[in-house]
A and B are shown apart, each in its own frame.
Chain A
Amino acid sequence: MDTLLIQMLNGVQLGLLMFLLAAGLTLTFGIMDLVNLAHGSLYMMGAYLAWTFIGWTDSFVLGVLLALPATFVLGIVVEAVVVRRLYARDHLDQVLATFGLILFFNELVRAVWGPAGKSIAVPPFLSHTVEILPGVPYSAYRFALIVVGTLVAILLAWLVARTRMGMLIRAGASNRRMIAALGVNIELLFSLVFGLGAVFAGLAGMMAAPIGSVKIGMGDDILILAFVIIVIGGIGSIKGAFIAAMLVGQIDIFGRSYLPDLLKTFLSPATASSAAPAISQMLVYLVMAGVLVWRPTGLFGQRT
């Protein structure tokens, strides 16, 4: 029972991290109709900027607080210099150009920070374990990730549902031409949305860094899963991204935790232990395929 609870928390934590990455991706894809493969690079840059600022300030919290606006500025610059030119182009051009951005950022990091990865230590006040229930320890840092992730998700929900900018974002996701025709400064909106997406991706990178390492290409692996999430959730939908991220987080963790034992009930142990990793790795994609058959535009997708 304790293990089940911990595994669920692990799933929530993974899901929230994925949500932060997917939120920006779904906004840029849904509103700006932009396929941004370089979203993972912003995740990586966030982590490297945080590493630098943490080194300067000697404080994890301060470092992250400085790195967030820095990532925002970076996002705005990338949008203005490269991405803005891609809106009118088709998706293949966008994929090519943003793939080029991935290569650019990877080489930039190598030139500035070197080929070896960097390490961000868990802040001392979170380096212990907390007892979720009596006698059930859980990593304090992962617990903090859940708290921060939830707060950010609430903030984003408020932003999208209750503010004027959110209203424009939602309007943009449903009908981009119409809001431009109504006199909304679409260029400014796009810049802000891209910057916002960059901040969330950067924050995900910063928060993931102490669990793993800050390294070249760290965002490329995780980006695939983020795309799966926005496809399941429906492109352009923040709510969809959140629910899909939670779903993917739980499926991933539970596939890894319980599938081997489950398979052993009706397969030989040898077959089960060789089949389980393969199946649990496919599980997320199977779910995506299933959702697409059932709802071709994703769970909360609006456009076809």
Chain B
Amino acid sequence: MKGKLFGTATIAALATMSAGGLQPAMAQESLKIGFVSTFSGSQAAIGEDMRRSVDLAVEHLGGKIAGKKIEIVYEDDQFKPDVGKARSEKLVQQDKVSFVAGYIWSNVLLASYKTVTEEGDTILISSNAGPSQIAGEGCNKNFFSTSWQNDQTPMAMGDYLNSKGVKSLYVVGPNYAAGKDMLAGVKRSYKGTIAGEDYTKWPDQLDFSAELTKIAAAKPDGIFIFYPGAHGVQFVKQWVQAGLNKTVPLYQVFSIDAITLPQQGDLAIGTLGAQEWVNDLPNEQNKKYVADFKKKYNVYPSYYGAQSYDSIMLIASAAEALKGDLSNKDKVRAEMKKANFKSLRGDFKFGNNNFPVQNYYIQETVKDAAGMMTVKTIATAVTAGVDPYAAKCPMK
């Protein structure tokens, strides 16, 4: 691997040297953006939703940023950290993209983080994952998020449960970086009793019978879960089959959404979730995005898609402000930090660690007028929330 890389580097260096004199003559440059997500396997539906939204963003931009043609290089992480890292390395070293965006999974992002931000000195925009490790001491000037820090969404749910007087909660999540953050998040803000806590094997445990039996025995006032994508489908179905839907309400983050609802269907009706973006947020850019997305693909977009759309728009805002000249990275970062674009969630600003300072909402699962399953905003749980690790990040 090393030898091959070295060889590639030598060839690249030689090629650059010989082509050096020709560089200024290159016309019609393109702006290359790498996008890493899961496009194969059991979680491919999430990656597909993100890709659709990125394509829509490019369409809304007219295919160009600051006169340069937008070129998106999609890479499939196959839901595996090592593959994600290798693909990120390829984007930075071989494709020489100006930005890398995407990343659904915290463990994939953690594996790829240094490869892009430090070794590649390239700006990385997370369109979803927000592991705690990179929000505090491990923060980096080359990292920006158009999503959230993992703890924040469950913290919003914890706040809401306090306000509703839910006295005891059983928390369940997968045993990996994001699962630990999410359960830590809800426990941070929730003031009632934690009736039980389970971590399940990720990603191959799909049977939750043992956990549901423990929950039934513990008789809590609520269950809190974090099971993204396909796993959320499994958990909700098994929760209903165990008959627990009649006795213990389900509160969730990232487990019931536009990706999972086509399969969960009526079983999920009435459940509550927290999120920073909802399809019914009443700003103009969001209305246009949701309407165009539904027209093009006949389904609702999810927050995964909305956050990906925002990633592209954030890049566009910085590149436009610099008239397409991305040669000075300090200037690019300074423009990014302004978050001077119309986000689908409404305006937000970046905190010192480049995670958004933003609102979080509570949604109820409902059927829309056309009989399609979706979620609708019922409350604002957190206003201008800052993540709990920001203070530990030395950046200003």
Contacts and interface: CB of A to CB of B under 8 A. Distances in A.
Interface of A: 2-3, 6-7, 10, 13-14, 106, 110, 115-119, 121-122, 127-129, 137, 139, 141-142, 210-213, 215-218, 221-222, 224, 252-254, 256-257, 260, 273, 276-278, 281
Nearest to A210: B237
Nearest to A253: B210
16 contacts: A3-B217, A7-B213, A14-B207, A115-B45, A116-B44, A116-B45, A117-B42, A117-B45, A211-B238, A212-B207, A221-B203, A221-B206, A222-B204, A257-B214, A260-B198, A277-B175
A2 B214 CA distance: 11
B349 interface: no
Contacts of B211: 256
By secondary structure, the B interface counts as helix
Q: Which of A6, A7, A142 has the most CB of B within 10 A?
A: A6
B213 A215 contact: no
B270 interface: no
Interface in B19-50: 39-42, 44-45, 48
Interface in B236-266: 237-238, 241-243, 259, 262-265
Contacts of B41: 106, 216-217
Contacts of B203: 221
Nearest to B231: A212
A215 B199 contact: no
Contacts of A260: 198
A277 B210 CA distance: 13
B234 interface: yes
Contacts of A118: 263
A277 B233 contact: no
B283 interface: no
A226 to B, nearest CB: 12
Nearest to A115: B44
Contacts of B216: 3, 6
Given A116-B262, A211-B237, A106 B40 contact: yes
Given A212-B234, A213-B234, A127 B241 contact: yes
Contact of A142 (B201, B204, B241, B262): B241
Contacts of A210: 237, 241
Contact of B230 (A110, A117, A224, A253): A117
B200 interface: yes
The 8 closest A-B pairs by CB, nearest first: A221-B204, A119-B263, A10-B209, A277-B199, A129-B243, A212-B234, A256-B210, A116-B45
A222 B203 CA distance: 11
A242 to B, nearest CB: 19
Interface centre among A221, A252, A278 (most CB of B within 10 A): A221
B197 interface: yes
Nearest to A225: B204
A252 to B, nearest CB: 8
Contacts of A252: 210
A118 B203 CA distance: 19
Contacts of B265: 119, 121
A3 B214 contact: yes
B92 to A, nearest CB: 27
Contacts of A14: 207, 209
Nearest to A213: B233
Contact of A216 (B44, B197, B207, B243): B44
B48 A116 contact: yes
B48 A7 contact: no
Contacts of B209: 10, 13-14, 142, 253
Most buried by A among B39, B206, B211: B206
B243 to A, nearest CB: 4
A217 B201 contact: no
Nearest to B209: A10
B213 A216 contact: no
Contacts of B242: 129, 137, 139
B263 A117 contact: yes
A218 B43 CA distance: 10
Contact of A256 (B44, B198, B243): B198
Nearest to B213: A6
A141 B241 contact: yes
B204 A224 contact: yes
A226 B385 CA distance: 46
